[in-house]
Structure 1
Amino acid sequence: MRVAENLNAALHRALAEDPDLHLLGEDVLDPYGGAFKITRGLSDRFPERVLSTPISENAITGVAAGLALAGDSAIVEIMFGDFAALAFDQLVNFAAKSVSMYGSRVPMRLVVRCPVGGGRGYGPTHSQSLQKHFVGVPGLALYEVSPFHDNADVLAEMFAREEPCVLFEDKVLYTRPMYEVAEPFRLDVHTPGVARVFLDERPDCVVVAGGGVSHRVMAAMRSLLLEEEIVCTLLVPSRLYPVGIELPPGTRRVFVVEEGTAGGTWGAEVAHEIHRRHFADLDGPVTLIHSADSVIPTAPHLEAAVLVGADDVHRVIRETLRG
């Protein structure tokens, strides 16, 4: 099963289990089934609760937040995560605040799905990873799809929080198989919600990364092992924020990889938490690895030069550990 199929199955299950759940978005109805086919089959099966909307991310999110405020549950599909900026007001000034601003806690079961990331030649306004712009908002939790977490469990966890959540979904990741790890590495669950890809229990470094860049990190881990004899462990959290990373015992060096640009990032928040709790145990500060400080070009060779890749991860880890 590929990631897109797993996510589609999770949406089918969620709608089947919750008769008060609605899904809203642009072009989500069959036979189209959404721009990336994640909603395929849903409108045929649940015609009264899967609603195709006009092109207004602000309005879609506002309606969904109203449904959540009234006691129902709602999922919003933003066709391209870049346009979540148009829903920022509804998320930050209405949905997230509604959890606590009325004098007692109000459950807000709202999930906003955002396909993000480059690698498909969609250009500057359809390829961004905007996770950092939503970090730190009270009452707003952030998640990222990975090939190591069953999306049915992830959706269930988000709704159980009873607060608005944003789910970031890397577009290239949609085509990847679930739970695939290249030898000689192994996969397990390090802590609840955090997958671990590892070789042994005493690595030279730990890499923390969202699911969207996990394959690039694993490629770098393999080349570092074969070419430099550097052993890495990868931690992939399902929930980005609030941060919940527990380092393996004996960790001495930590890297955080994300596709977004530097400056006020999720990676910086991870580094802050690790420094606050583990700084005395580390051999150096957490190192952040980002894409270039640039818009994302459409031309494949220029896009590849801007986005963080396996070669960048390899180079930074090698230079930091061997420097």
Structure 2
Amino acid sequence: MTRVSEHLNQALHDLMESDPAVHLLGEDVSDPYGGAFKITRGLSDRFGSRVRSTPLSEGGIVGVGAGLALAGDKAVVEIMFSDFVTLAFDQIANFAAKSTAMYGRAVPVPLIVRCPTGGNRGYGPTHSQSLQKHFIGVPGLSLFEMTPFHDAGELFARMFALSRPCLFFEDKVLYTRHMHRLDDLFRFELTGETARVFVGGAAEPDCTLVTHGGLVHRTLDAMRTLLVEDEVVCELLVPARLYPVPHLPGLENARHVCVIDDGGEGGSWSAEVARVLYPRLWGRLRRPITLVNSADAVIPAAPHLERDVLVQADRIRAAVREAVS
């Protein structure tokens, strides 16, 4: 089976082969290094000057990518660790996103900013954050995230088709995981932009969980324990587009909803999902939507302390048990 890192690499190869207007920029993305996580391996050898290793200037990288997009080409830029995307916030929010609408007519800005994100690898406070929430609500900007269920090539095509800048988050813990791999307890199907993971043959779920790509396996671990030990059946929704929040399927008879987010508490993606769902579900929910977030704390480097800050399967299980009790 294909690992997520291999799948992303192949998707970039296919993208650049099919569209000669696509350029790729980032720190150490050229061969023989091929990027910090080897997602860009082989691209510079194959596509030459369309792949450029850049100086260590996130603002410069994104600015050049946005300039290429405005000039009629397309750009994929890599932020080596998404923690450093804050150094490009001005270029993203005040240049790229605004350029789609501030010239008196719609202007295409086909720019994808790839952001390896997330913790649980012991990288410490400056290389482990999930900063999706800081970009929610920026006019002209869309947020996507890689999942084990969505085809990366289709996501790249969808982002470019929007003709607006997109942030594409890739949780680092997924890189070594396999695409589409589930144990015998679960099945999944794609409904629009969202993957639905459910227990095969089960009745309506006791609780519907919503999460983003990097939390899938921790959430599945919690679902498995809830089913086997607590006899609680859950369904999982995993949207590839984080913002604007897409229509989430399968909530017509939802009794409880729990949104799980690796970002810190406060002003979070989970809160945005709840805001979108409340008008739709208010008359049917038995209690307020449960939000599970990482702690409001700096992420430690020591693994046992890092686990206490970031969302883990046992916290998800505890939140669901409380919701359905």
Do Structure 1 and Structure 2 share a fold, with TM-score over 0.5? Answer: yes
2:302 paired residue among 293, 296, 299: 299
Q: What amino acid is aligned across from residue 126 of structure 1 in structure 2?
A: H
Give 1:197's aligned amino acid. V
Aligned to 2:64: 63
Alignment equivalent of 1:205, drawn from 204, 207, 226: 207
Match of 1:310 in 2: 313
C-alpha deviation, 1:293, in angstroms: 1.2
Residue in 2 that maps onto 1:320: 323
Q: 1:15-61 CA distances to partner (integer Å, 9 max, x unpaired)?
A: 11111110000000111100000000000000110000000000000
Q: Deviations over 1:135-173 (max 9, x none)?
A: 011110000000000100000000000000000010011
Matched with 1:267 is 270
Q: 1:1-323 to 2 correspondence within 5 Å?
A: 1-189=2-190, 191-199=191-199, 200=202, 202-248=204-250, 249-322=252-325
Q: What is the SS of the residue equivalent to 1:281?
A: coil
Q: Secondary structure at the match of 2:164?
A: coil
SS where residue 262 of structure 2 aligns?
coil
Q: CA deviation at 1:180?
A: 0.9
User: Tell me, what secondary structure is at the counterpart of 2:76?
Assistant: strand
Task: Report SS of the residue matched to 2:30.
Answer: coil
SS in 1 for 2:283: helix
Which segments of 5 or more consecutive residues in structure 1 lack a partner in the other structure? none
Which is worse superposed, 47-56 or 237-246? 237-246
Deviation string for 1:250-288 (max 9, x for gaps)?
A: 111100001111111111110001002221121111111
Structure 1 SS opposite 2:49? coil
Relative to structure 1, is the Cα distance of residues 245 and 208 closer, same or farther in structure 2, using a 3 angstrom cutoff? farther
Q: Write the deviation string for residues 54-101 of structure 1: whole angstroms up to 9, x where unpaired.
A: 000000000000000111100000000000000000000000000011
For 2:42 and 2:282, the matched residues in 1 are separated by: 49
Looking at structure 1, the residues matched to 93 and 147 of structure 2 have their Cα atoms a distance apart, in angstroms, of 25
Change (3 A) 1:69 1:203: same
Aligned length: 321
CA contact (8 A) 1:65 1:74 kept: yes
Q: Is the 8 A contact 2:194 2:240 kept in 1?
A: yes
Q: Distance in 1 between matches of 2:215 and 2:221?
A: 10
One-letter code aligned to 1:258: D
- CA shift in 2, pair 1:112/1:201, >3 Å: farther
Partners of 2:143 and 2:168 within 8 A in 1: yes
Counterpart code for 1:8: N
Give the drift of 1:305.
1.2
Say whether the 8 Å CA contact 1:113–1:167 is kept in structure 2: yes
The sequence identity of aligned pairs, in percent, is: 60
Distance 2:224 2:247 in 1: 23
Tell me, yes or no, if the aligned pair for 1:74 and 1:111 is still in contact at 8 Å. Answer: yes
* TM-score scaled by length of structure 2: 0.97
Displacement of 1:304: 1.1
Equivalent position amino acid for 1:61 in 2: V
Q: Distance in 2 between matches of 1:45 and 1:276?
A: 50
On the 8 A contact 1:237/1:245 being kept in 2, the answer is no
Task: Work out whether residues 181 and 197 of structure 1, in 8 Å CA contact, stay in contact via their aligned partners in 2.
Answer: no
C-alpha distance in structure 1 between counterparts of 2:114 and 2:212, whole Å: 15
Deviation at 1:246, TM superposition (A): 2.3
Runs of 4+ in 1 over 6 A off after TM superposition: none
Q: Is the 8 A contact 1:24 1:52 kept in 2?
A: yes
User: Secondary structure of the equivalent of 1:259?
Assistant: strand
- DSSP 3-state at the match of 2:48: coil
Tell me how large the CA RMSD over aligned residues is: 0.8
- Which letter does structure 2 place at the counterpart of 1:187? F
Shift of 1:201: 5.1
